[in-house]
Amino acid sequence: MGLLILQKAQQAMDFMKIKALLLNPLSESLLAELTRQRDGRYGIEDIIDSYPDRPDSISWLGFKATRRILGIINEAIGCGDQFEKIIRREDIRRTILNVLLSVRKYGVSQPQRFYAPLMVVWNLTWKCNLKCKHCYENAGPLGVKSTDNELTLDEKLAAIDHIADSFIPTISISGGEPFCHPHFWPVLEKARARGLYTSLNTNGTLITKETAQRLVDLNVAYAGISVDGPSAAYHDEFRGMPGAWEKTLQGIRNLAETPVFTIMSFTITRDSIRYLREMFELAEELKMDKVMVYNYIPTGRGEGNFDMDPTPEQREEALSLMYEFAASGRLVCSTAPQFGRVCVEMGAHNLLPLAHAGTGKAGNLNILAQIIGGCGVGRAYLALQPDGRITPCVYMPYIEVGNIREDSILDIWHNNELLESLACHDDLEGHCGVCEHKSVCGGCRARAYAYYGDFKAPDPGCLRNKDHCQEFDERRIRSDSAGPS
């Protein structure tokens, strides 16, 4: 999940065309017809099953309007001439249903709120073979959490059904280290059987040639592999395990021999940010497809460790460098929502950021970019913890909004007051509340909470909130000087 860099051509005009098409009285009537269930099937499913031909159940006028809507979706997901072939895929079917149900329930907005999450990031386990300094799950062999209450295999397989039946098209499996858990492979097999678009986040140390091929066989779309520095000494110290660097690089090489799309995942800290350019070069050397630059967030094992966080000036410099690489044609994304603001401000190359959108292999996504832009928490994205707790974001591991063992994802998504609040950017504080780029940024709500205990507080990582960051640091220094009360 991150920000893709996309063509921005005629943004306002395209968005108004979509709004006019989908919100006129005829289209509203058609949307009602397409999203109405008969005998357990939605009207749109008849069209999908007969596409590109017209089913008997819909008029020529309705079919023509539906084809225009499907054309927008095709442009958004970048299928081109392959759309007729892949439209029957389960993940594409769920995406189409989700989009139509979203417009029916919430209308068309910028950014869009979705009927169901577009993605669930599932932290499969707290088990891990490394002990990373910044781990948001505090996972590892010395983790403070017991794994006794993790979902059983039957519960995990039921969770896959629950996700698939909730119109959610994609899951991203993370941890802990997914390869450390014996349930990882049965979960992947179940995800393939249910047609979920599946990705993986891993430290790469356990990827052999055999496991790499198995990922191909199980239709894993892409794998993000964490690399935290350009040398063995730096990476191994950060990851808490001697020899991790060599094992990770071998895992990357093993994956590079397969069709699996590979992403280098690099977290910028106050110290490691100096290596950002070298990390882009290393990714090219290793023939990786994309670089994902992760925002450092002081939670989990990093809770309270604000000294690891880059300064606003450092982050701004890093964002500019990321833009430079993206503008040169490289695939770059980031969990730092300020990347959206930087790309718009530096729009000499006519680029636009898009949040939460998978591998970036799609074509011209300018329409989708206008709709999804900005942090997707509460609007397009949800997290599932190893014990079944549902949280708004992986970086909010202690903020529970429900539990998949007993709650419906859709009920939570539609009715939870915290998710409702997180989806709204109208009442943000600091510069986040008045920023002209709210729709493509909005600040990181997890960072705001980690610093201030308030989801609506300003994101101190942005240069435009520099005064708030300085005030926080000064208050922390005074508190440390005063000692325990």
Among residues 72, 106, 140, the one where a domain terminates is: 106
Give how far Cα 331 sits from Cα of 293, 323, 342, 360, Å: 11, 10, 16, 8
Residue 263 lies in a domain: yes
Task: Please give the full DSSP string across 38-52, using - where no structure is assigned.
Answer: ETTEEHHHHHHHHTT
Assess whether 20 and 151 both reside in one domain. no
C-alpha 147 chain-centroid distance: 25
Tokens of 353: 């950021």
C-alpha 251 chain-centroid distance: 23
Residues in the chain: 485
Tokens of 404: 């998949």
Q: 427-447: b or e for each residue (b if 16 or more CB lie within 10 Å)?
A: ebbbbbeebebbbbbbbbbbb
d(CA 246, CA 340): 34
Question: HSE on the CB side for 453, CA within 13 Å?
Answer: 1
Among residues 378, 396, 423, the one where a domain terminates is: 423
Assess whether 223 and 140 both reside in one domain. yes
d(CA 163, CA 229): 35
Residue 144 lies in a domain: yes
Assess whether 85 and 137 both reside in one domain. no
Tokens of 95: 């995406």
Residue 358 lies in a domain: yes
**Residues 380, 114 contacting (CB under 8 angstroms):** yes
pLDDT of 22 reads 62
d(CA 243, CA 248): 9
Assess whether 464 and 353 both reside in one domain. no
Assess whether 126 and 41 both reside in one domain. no
Parent domain of 474: 442-482
d(CA 157, CA 116): 20
pLDDT of 347 reads 65
> Which parts of the chain register pLDDT below 70?
1-26, 73, 76-78, 142-145, 347-373, 480-485
Give how far Cα 295 sits from Cα of 243, 350, 445, Å: 25, 24, 12
Residue 2 lies in a domain: no
pLDDT of 69 reads 77
d(CA 375, CA 406): 28
Residue 429 lies in a domain: no
Assess whether 153 and 84 both reside in one domain. no
Report strand pairing: 41-42 vs 37-38: antiparallel
d(CA 220, CA 215): 5
The 10 Å Cβ neighbour count of residue 252 is 22
Assess whether 207 and 317 both reside in one domain. yes
Q: For every residue of 73-107, which 3-state class applies, written as one string?
A: HHHHHCCHHHHHHHCCCHHHHHHHHHHHHHHHHHC
Assess whether 416 and 386 both reside in one domain. yes
Assess whether 282 and 342 both reside in one domain. yes
**Residues 174, 184 contacting (CB under 8 angstroms):** no
pTM: 0.89
Residue 436 lies in a domain: no
Max Cα-Cα span within the chain: 77
d(CA 391, CA 378): 10
d(CA 485, CA 478): 13
Output the CA angle 82-88-93, nearest 5 degrees: 110
pLDDT of 326 reads 85
Helices (H) and strands (E) in the chain, counts: 19, 14
d(CA 400, CA 364): 37
Give the chain's domain count: 3
CATH assignment of the domain containing 128:
3.20.20.70
Tokens of 191: 């995800």
